[in-house]
Amino acid sequence: MQRSGEAGSVRLAALGGGKRSATARLVVLVGPAGAGKTTLAHRLIDAAPARRAFSVSHTTRAMRRGEQDGVDYHFVERAAFEARIAAGGFVEFAEVHGNLYGTSYAAIESHLAAGRDVLFDVDIVGATALYEAFPDRTRLIFITPPDWTALCARLEARGSETPETLRRRLRTARAELDAVLTQLEAGLPWDLLCNDVVDLAVADLEATLSRPRGQFVAADLARVQRMAGDAAADSRADPLADPDP
């Protein structure tokens, strides 16, 4: 994960002088692949489309069936993405599984100016970058399935994962579980949410957004800790394990 350099810092300083709603927030949803982050984000937006919008990231990955350019992502060639990096156009960007993803300043700026909450589906390092750029406006929400077994089952049920891509996703999930626990110990105001039944998770997410940051029950923390332990015991999530022959 990298972040914009000096040009990006200048751009962020310029944002401070912009006209933005006092209540509009960055709602940053983080969690392993298969946690249901995008589904929850769109359900929140559908419930209040005038007050919420999804941050459409840029990516160099190929478009999947059913996706639309400018709706799901801005799909761009790698050279165009790298040119935007050089111009300081991203508040955060990362290379994930060989593809580049990034959030532009312009996407955030336009929604905040209109008084809309901006919803993000990013990795944990991207979430940290957003929090550092907008510390008073950012809600950090870490979403998981009920347990590690359920996460693995969701990924396998997709039918699109090869053994190697499944290993990569599980290793990323393990790293994110460890990272959020470390950040909680450091005092970052994460909220923790379980997405088992989507309708219940949407209601829990709405309730979370109505409370001050970082207020979760002990069972939520125990679930994340348990998942981190199970991930550490799963050889497929071991970053040092050799791939299958």
pLDDT in the model for residue 71: 87
Q: What is the CATH number of the domain that holds 221?
A: 3.40.50.300
Would residue 14 count as lying in a domain?
yes
Amino acid 126: pLDDT = 86
Instruction: Band the pLDDT of 21: cuts 50, 70, 90.
Output: low
Specify if 105 maps to a domain. Answer: yes
pLDDT recorded at residue 123: 87
- Other beta carbons less than 10 A from residue 78's beta carbon: 10
Residue 5 has pLDDT above 60, yes or no: no
Q: Is residue 245 part of a domain?
A: no
Cα Dmax for the chain: 57
Q: Do the domain assignments include residue 219?
A: yes
Q: Which domain holds residue 89?
A: 6-237
Whole-number pLDDT of residue 20 = 54
pLDDT at 244: 47
**Smallest Cα–Cα separation from 142: which of 98, 188, 109?**
188
**What is the model's pLDDT at position 158?**
87
How far, in whole angstroms, is CA 136 from its chain's centroid? 18
Calculate what percentage of the chain has a pLDDT beyond 70. 89
Q: What is the pLDDT of residue 44?
A: 95
Q: Which tens digits make up the pLDDT trace of 40-74?
A: 999 999 999 999 998 888 999 999 999 999 988 99
One-character DSSP codes across 113-137? HTT-EEEEE--HHHHHHHHHHSTTT
19 — pLDDT class (breaks 50, 70, 90) = low
Q: Does residue 244 belong to any structural domain of this protein?
A: no
Q: Is 222 within the bounds of a domain?
A: yes
89-99 burial string, b = 16+ CB within 10 Å, else e? Answer: bbbbbbebeee
In a domain, 243, yes or no: no
Q: Strand, coil or helix: what is 65?
A: coil
Is residue 18 assigned to a domain?
A: yes
Predicted confidence (pLDDT) per residue in 164-207, tens digit:
999 999 999 999 999 999 999 999 999 999 999 999 999 999 99
pTM: 0.81
Residue-level pLDDT at 243: 57
The pLDDT tens digits of the residues spanning 82-125 come to 999 999 999 988 888 799 999 898 889 889 999 999 999 888 98
Q: Indicate the pairing of strand 26-30 with strand 74-75.
A: unpaired
The first and second tokens of residue 68, run together, are 């639309």
pLDDT digits (tens, 9 = 90+) for 216-237: 999 999 999 999 999 999 999 9
At 108 the three-state DSSP class reads: helix
Indicate the average pLDDT of the chain.
Answer: 88
State how many domains the chain has. Answer: 1
